[in-house]
Amino acid sequence: MATSNATLCQNYIGGRWVNSTSKQTHRITNPAHGSSVVATVQASVVEDAEDAVQASANALNSWSSTPAPQRSAILYKAYELMRDQEDEFARTITLEEGKPLADARGEVKRSLNIIEYAAGEGRRMFGYTTPSELTSTLAYTVRRPVGVVAIITPWNFPLAIPTWKIAPALICGNTVVFKPASSTPLSAVKLVEIFEKAGLPPGVLNLVTGTGASIGDHIVTHPKVQGISFTGSTEIGAKLYAQAAERLKKVQCEMGGKNAVIVLADADINHALGGIVQAAFGSTGQRCTATSRVIVEESAYDSFIQELIRHTRRLKVGDGMDPEVDVGPTASEAQFRKIIEYINIGTSEGARLIYGGKALTGRQNEGGYYVEPTIFADVDPKMRIAQEEIFGPVLTVFKAKDLEEAIAIANNVQFGLSSSIYCRDLAKAFQYVEQVEAGMVHINSPTLGGEVHLPFGGTKASGVGAREQGTEAVNFFSEVVTVYVDYAGNRTQAKFI
Q: Which residue from 162, 152, 158 is spatially nearest to 217, judged by alpha carbons?
A: 152
Residues 134 and 486: beta-carbon distance below 8 Å? yes
- Surface-to-core class of residue 139, CB atoms within 10 Å of its CB (0-12 exposed, 13-18 middle, 19+ buried): middle
Distance CA 479, CA 497 (A): 25
Strands 459-460 and 25-29: what pairing? unpaired
Q: List the helix and strand counts (H, then E) for the chain.
A: 15, 25
Residues 101 and 283: beta-carbon distance below 8 Å? no
Would residue 451 show up in a list of annotated catalytic residues for this protein? no
Would residue 253 show up in a list of annotated catalytic residues for this protein? no
Q: How many CB atoms lie within 10 A of CB 36?
A: 14
Phi, psi of 351 (to 5 degrees): -70, 150
Q: Which residue from 419, 421, 439 is spatially nearest to 430, judged by alpha carbons?
A: 421
Distance CA 133, CA 61 (A): 34
Per the residue annotation, which of 50, 193, 254, 372 is the catalytic one? Answer: 254
* Cβ-count burial 443-473 (b if 16+ within 10 Å, e if not): eeebbbbbebeebbbbebbbbbbbbbbbebb
Nearest-10 Cα torsion for 377, 382, 388, 394: 0
Per the residue annotation, which of 9, 172, 253, 288 is the catalytic one? Answer: 288
- The gap from C-alpha 353 to its chain's centroid, in whole angstroms, comes to 30
- Positions marked catalytic: 254, 288
